[in-house]
């Protein structure tokens, strides 16, 4: 095998965001771009000599080609072994599990731009997960970024492509490539956590479900687990064959992008339960017949009932949520007498809390829910835990939600996204808010009195690392809250997110229209920030 050292020069803007490096596919395909980033990862983690790596992705356009490039570079950099999902497929949670199960000391390379569309004109991404199976912490991503700025060569080798379709061992120079069934180990893990017998009995009793895999990576997982192992009727899984452009769709499981499923669940013959997952299988959406469950409420519900599943029968040690996620789970945690942590947006911030055993469950408003079984959010796991709870309680999604709200109050919630905003204007919005914050406590905006206003900073309780500038919080005295934050995952312009929340404890007002309930806090947030005037818009692009 011919080893090659290729001279290169740094490429601008290779800074990993909230979830690895995410760019237009054409950027990743440009000369040396992927190679520079992969070598920077290897250099940033002190090399891969003698190490084992897990490699796989969500099957989007360029997934297979990028994997061959990565394998050749891993071999040239002296890696001992790469474990690769068959046909290059691995969901993000399955990759996280494999890193842990196989003690892959080199960690994992996951090829995905998550819920962003795929194709030659759409998006691609690459994220590095460490040997604990979780997204690399900032200390590591900073090292990778620093390497991208000075890189002058990368190592690769001339070798034939590995056949990604054949399960078994192959060699690439001195490196072993093990192609594995992407579903098997993950399915075995799920069997340990949730009660498959109970769920099988639920389906056998006529319970109906629609799972929308959105033409993405969870298709094979859902077919095997839901229709195969759990006996759900064929046809329960829709859009279950992964395609390189996700059927030309936007594999983002929320009411705006999973319209097909929303319509099914609001039709007269809707099934009992609906769910969807995203491009790489880490996000989830939960629906009952005519009911949409917000991700924040889903986290609260799962926390309240997790002990019904075998994996959590001894209870939950604690919970964590990202700051913009609604405070519904805080109220459940308080009743259960367990710790509740508020972290910046980004799954990596849960890693230390999970590793230290301080939290068992965690979640984010962006449709991510997970637990200590892996170090990523896990879409299908959330769906299976819901099924376990539905089977044990024999209650509908709507009844479970009403019980939750009646006991803890309801945190009405919405997220407004202003997309593809001129970056300078987006920064102007946030910069304009900052100086106002110290004067706001006690002030009235519209009809609402501000209790507290700040820019969120986080000190990790385990390693004391500090993260500043994590979003602007306005907390009002009537249980309302507004949060402003710039997205870290977009690939075009800037996305401003405005998160709105309103607590309601009056039992007669638990089933109102969320947008009406949130109107006051929305108006207050827009008035204070002057957001829409600054960016020249009159409405958000997406409301979820």
Give me Rg for the CA atoms of the chain.
23
From 149-157, 303-311, 482-490, 526-534, span contacting ligand G16 (CB under 6 A): 482-490
Q: Smallest gap, in angstroms, from Cβ of residue 207 to ligand G16?
A: 29
Footprint of ligand G16 on 183-222 (CB under 6 A):
none
Q: Is 372 in the site for ligand G16 (CB under 6 A)?
A: no
Q: Smallest gap, in angstroms, from Cβ of residue 185 to ligand G16?
A: 21
Q: Smallest gap, in angstroms, from Cβ of residue 459 to ligand G16?
A: 19
Q: Is 346 in the site for ligand G16 (CB under 6 A)?
A: yes
Q: Is 366 in the site for ligand G16 (CB under 6 A)?
A: yes
Q: Smallest gap, in angstroms, from Cβ of residue 483 to ligand G16?
A: 11
From 25-33, 49-57, 485-493, 515-523, span contacting ligand G16 (CB under 6 A): 485-493
Per-residue contact flags (x/-) with ligand G16 for residues 106 to 145, judged by CB under 6 A: --------xx------------------------------
Footprint of ligand G16 on 17-76 (CB under 6 A):
18-19
- State which residue, 258 or 517, has the beta carbon closest to ligand G16: 258
Strand order in the sheet with 472-476: 444-445, 448-455, 472-476, 480-486, 494-504, 410-421, 542-543
Q: How far is CA 274 from CA 254, 262, 285, in A?
A: 12, 8, 8
Torsion-angle region of 489 (φ positive above 0: left; ψ -120 to 50: alpha; else: beta):
alpha
Cα 268 off chain centre by: 31
- State which residue, 270 or 525, has the beta carbon closest to ligand G16: 525
Residues near 157 by beta carbon (within 8 Å), at least 6 away in sequence: 1, 2, 3, 4, 72, 75, 76, 172, 173
Give the interface size with ligand G16 as a residue count (CB under 6 A).
17
What CA–CA distance (Å, rounded) separates 299 from 371? 10
Q: Smallest gap, in angstroms, from Cβ of residue 62 to ligand G16?
A: 17
From 168-176, 241-249, 360-368, 452-460, span contacting ligand G16 (CB under 6 A): 360-368
Decide: 144 and 44 in contact? Cβ < 8 Å: yes
- State which residue, 288 or 344, has the beta carbon closest to ligand G16: 344
Q: Is 283 in the site for ligand G16 (CB under 6 A)?
A: yes
What CA–CA distance (Å, rounded) separates 103 from 131? 7
Helix axes 379-393, 196-204, angle to 10 degrees: 70
- State which residue, 293 or 397, has the beta carbon closest to ligand G16: 293
What CA–CA distance (Å, rounded) separates 121 from 63? 14
Q: Smallest gap, in angstroms, from Cβ of residue 521 to ligand G16?
A: 19
Burial 56-87 (b: 16+ CB within 10 A, else e): bbbbbbbbbebbbebbbbbbbbbbbbbbbbbb
Expressed in angstroms, the distance from the first to the final Cα of the chain is 52
Helix axes 379-393, 184-193, angle to 10 degrees: 30
From 165-173, 335-343, 429-437, 487-495, span contacting ligand G16 (CB under 6 A): 487-495
Q: Is 488 in the site for ligand G16 (CB under 6 A)?
A: yes
- State which residue, 43 or 501, has the beta carbon closest to ligand G16: 501
Q: Smallest gap, in angstroms, from Cβ of residue 368 to ligand G16?
A: 5
Return the SS3 of 325. Answer: coil
- State which residue, 154 or 347, has the beta carbon closest to ligand G16: 347
Decide: 351 and 134 in contact? Cβ < 8 Å: yes
- State which residue, 18 or 243, has the beta carbon closest to ligand G16: 18
Return the SS3 of 356. Answer: coil
From 99-107, 155-163, 230-238, 344-352, span contacting ligand G16 (CB under 6 A): 344-352
| Strand partners for 5 | 155
Annotated active-site positions, please? Answer: 114
Footprint of ligand G16 on 491-510 (CB under 6 A):
497
Cα 217 off chain centre by: 14
- State which residue, 113 or 433, has the beta carbon closest to ligand G16: 113
Q: Which residues bind ligand G16 (CB under 6 A)?
A: 18-19, 114-115, 282-283, 322, 345-347, 364, 366, 368, 487-489, 497
């Amino acid at each position: 095998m011919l080893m090659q050292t290729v001279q290169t020069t740094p490429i601008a803007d290779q800074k990993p965001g909230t979830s690895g490096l995410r760019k237009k596919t054409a950027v990743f395909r440009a000369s040396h771009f992927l190679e520079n980033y992969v070598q920077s990862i290897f250099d940033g983690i002190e090399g891969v000599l003698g190490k084992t790596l897990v490699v796989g992705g969500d099957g989007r356009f360029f997934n297979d080609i990028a994997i061959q490039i990565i394998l050749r570079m891993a071999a040239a950099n002296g890696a001992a072994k790469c474990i690769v999902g068959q046909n290059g497929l691995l969901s993000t949670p399955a990759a996280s599990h494999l890193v842990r199960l196989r003690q892959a000391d080199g960690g994992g390379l996951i090829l995905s731009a998550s819920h962003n569309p795929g194709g030659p004109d759409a998006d691609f991404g690459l994220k590095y997960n460490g040997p604990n199976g979780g997204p690399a912490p900032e200390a590591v991503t900073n090292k990778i970024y620093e390497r991208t700025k000075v890189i002058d060569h990368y190592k690769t080798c001339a070798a034939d492509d590995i056949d990604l379709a054949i399960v078994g061992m192959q060699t690439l120079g001195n490196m072993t490539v093990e192609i594995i069934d992407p579903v098997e180990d993950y399915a075995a893990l799920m069997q340990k956590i949730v009660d498959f017998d109970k769920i099988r009995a639920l389906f056998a009793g006529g319970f109906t479900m629609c799972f929308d895999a959105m033409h993405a990576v969870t298709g094979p997982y859902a077919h095997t687990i839901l229709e195969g192992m759990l006996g759900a009727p064929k046809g329960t899984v829709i859009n279950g064959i992964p395609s390189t452009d996700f059927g030309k769709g936007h594999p983002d499981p929320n009411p705006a992008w999973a319209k097909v499923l929303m319509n099914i669940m609001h039709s007269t013959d809707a099934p009992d339960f609906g769910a969807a997952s995203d491009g790489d299988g880490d996000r989830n959406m939960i629906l009952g017949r005519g009911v949409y469950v917000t991700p924040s409420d889903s986290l609260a519900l799962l926390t309240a009932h997790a002990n019904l599943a075998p994996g959590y029968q001894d209870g939950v040690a604690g919970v964590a949520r990202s700051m913009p996620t609604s405070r519904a789970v805080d109220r459940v945690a308080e009743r259960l007498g367990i710790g509740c942590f508020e972290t910046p947006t980004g799954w990596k911030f849960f890693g230390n809390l999970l590793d230290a055993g301080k939290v068992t469950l965690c979640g984010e408003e962006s449709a991510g829910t997970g637990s200590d079984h892996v170090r990523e959010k896990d879409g299908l796991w959330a769906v299976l835990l819901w099924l376990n709870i539905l089977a044990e309680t024999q209650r509908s999604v709507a009844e479970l939600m009403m019980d939750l709200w009646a006991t803890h109050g309801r945190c009405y919630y919405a997220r407004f996204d202003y997309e593809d905003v001129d970056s300078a204007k987006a920064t102007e919005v946030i910069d304009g808010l900052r100086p106002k914050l110290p004067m706001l406590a006690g002030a009235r905006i519209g009809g609402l009195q501000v209790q507290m206003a700040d820019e969120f900073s986080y000190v990790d309780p385990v390693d004391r690392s500090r993260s500043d500038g994590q979003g602007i919080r306005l907390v009002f005295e009537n249980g309302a809250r507004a949060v402003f934050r710039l997205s870290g995952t977009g690939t075009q312009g800037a996305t401003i997110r405005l998160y709105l929340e309103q607590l309601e404890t009056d039992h007669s007002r638990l089933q109102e229209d969320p947008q009406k309930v949130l109107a006051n806090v929305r108006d207050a947030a827009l008035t204070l920030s002057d957001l829409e005037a600054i960016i020249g818009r009159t409405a958000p692009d997406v409301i979820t």
